[in-house]
């Protein structure tokens, strides 16, 4: 292989000052798979709010600048480390997570990939191990949702939010969703029963008027909505599942939980949860595969952008200007 063939395009986060310091490089060395890893030719890389948080250096355990950005992708296995057990065949298309996804090539640990569903493109499979897995984990093993119960979904026009609305409706729940006014029609089309503006000053009162109390709150916003989440969850039986903090981290005290806000608060980081409870995560993936087979989980329809536009996409995501799943094509 010539020197030129060993180089690739990638987006490099040069500082922790946000997406403005994310820059395209054309001369990055192609990575080499380490122990237990595959080398992936990236077909599409998913864009997530965690990428924005990492770009500002406030994602717990995230990479330190400078680094190749991105962590979710789908693509073709082109090499495997010698110690990968029962390796998938070269040429298999997989979706998974790993450092440096905003590039033409990346490595993924063999335990962190799934085959792309039959008949789906790489881009259509994005979200399987992150957005949909997070939404399903929040609703089912952690949220313990039952038919007829009420779910509150914040940021319902986003990747996890859309999956959550879709899944909650499938499992027979009533869905109260929030989104900016321009995105209400999108969320309503997903099946949400009510769509509200999360910035309205009387949000808690309106949710309580509509529901009398919420069984499960999917909390991804953080500081700006957390007080509302505690206020609208049903006393003692309501579950607040926290998996994001887009507006900053919120605080909850023992005083809140004992004397004023009686909700059950449960945290979720899908990667850490999967590592801590591998059997439960395997069951979750089996449930997702069954949902795909039954047509409940359809192929994704991400908006795909050239790799060089990654900084603009992250900036728009940070400013709340996007809807649905977005992806980068490193070959465009």
Chain segment 74-89, per-residue pLDDT in tens: 999 999 999 999 999 9
Among the listed residues 133, 180, 174, the one whose alpha carbon sits nearest the alpha carbon of residue 154 = 180
The structure tokens listed for 143 are 């949220």
Percent of the chain with pLDDT over 70: 99
Residue 182: pLDDT band with limits 50, 70, 90: very high
Say what the pLDDT of residue 260 is: 87
The SS3 assignment for 270 reads helix
d(CA 46, CA 107): 15
Place of tokens 């900036």: 315
Say what the pLDDT of residue 4 is: 60
Helix count and strand count (H, E) for the chain: 11, 16
The SS3 assignment for 109 reads strand
Residue 64: pLDDT band with limits 50, 70, 90: very high
Place of tokens 């909850």: 252
Q: Global pTM?
A: 0.93
d(CA 190, CA 113): 28
> Measured between alpha carbons, how far is residue 59 from residues 156, 190, 248, 250 in Å?
22, 30, 11, 15
Residue pair 230/251 in contact by the 8 Å Cβ criterion: no
d(CA 236, CA 289): 33
The answer, yes or no, to whether residue 2 has pLDDT greater than 80, is no
DSSP letter for 66, please: S
- Mean pLDDT across the chain: 95
- Give 218-237 pLDDT, tens digit per residue: 999 999 999 999 999 999 99
């Amino acid at each position: 292989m010539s020197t030129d063939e060993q180089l690739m395009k990638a987006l490099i986060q040069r500082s922790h000052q946000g997406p403005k310091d994310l820059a395209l490089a054309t001369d990055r060395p192609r990575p080499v798979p380490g122990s237990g890893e595959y080398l992936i030719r990236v077909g599409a890389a998913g864009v997530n709010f965690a990428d924005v948080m990492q770009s500002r250096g406030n994602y717990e355990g995230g990479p330190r600048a400078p680094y190749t950005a991105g962590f979710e992708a789908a693509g073709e296995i082109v090499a495997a480390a010698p110690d990968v057990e029962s390796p998938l065949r070269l040429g298999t298309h997989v979706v998974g997570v790993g450092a440096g996804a905003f590039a033409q090539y990346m490595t993924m640990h063999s335990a962190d990939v799934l085959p792309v569903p039959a008949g789906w493109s790489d881009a259509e499979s994005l979200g399987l191990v992150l957005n949909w897995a997070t939404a399903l984990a929040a609703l089912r093993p952690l949220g313990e949702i039952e038919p007829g119960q009420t779910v509150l979904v914040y940021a319902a026009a986003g990747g996890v939010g859309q999956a959550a609305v879709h899944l909650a409706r499938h499992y027979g729940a009533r869905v109260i969703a929030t989104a900016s006014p321009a995105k209400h029609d999108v969320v309503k089309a997903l099946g949400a029963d009510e769509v509200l503006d999360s910035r309205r000053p009387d949000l808690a009162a309106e949710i309580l008027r509509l529901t009398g109390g919420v069984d499960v709150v999917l909390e991804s916003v953080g500081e700006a909505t957390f007080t509302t989440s505690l206020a609208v969850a049903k006393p003692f039986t309501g579950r607040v599942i926290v998996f994001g903090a887009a507006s900053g981290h919120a605080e909850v005290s023992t005083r809140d939980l004992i004397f004023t806000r009686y909700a059950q608060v449960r945290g979720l980081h899908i990667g850490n949860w999967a590592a801590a409870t591998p059997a439960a995560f395997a069951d979750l993936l089996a449930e997702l595969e069954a949902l795909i087979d039954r047509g409940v989980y359809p192929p994704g329809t991400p908006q795909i952008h050239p790799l060089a536009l990654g900084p603009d996409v992250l900036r728009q995501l940070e400013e709340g200007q996007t809807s649905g799943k977005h992806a980068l094509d490193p070959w465009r």
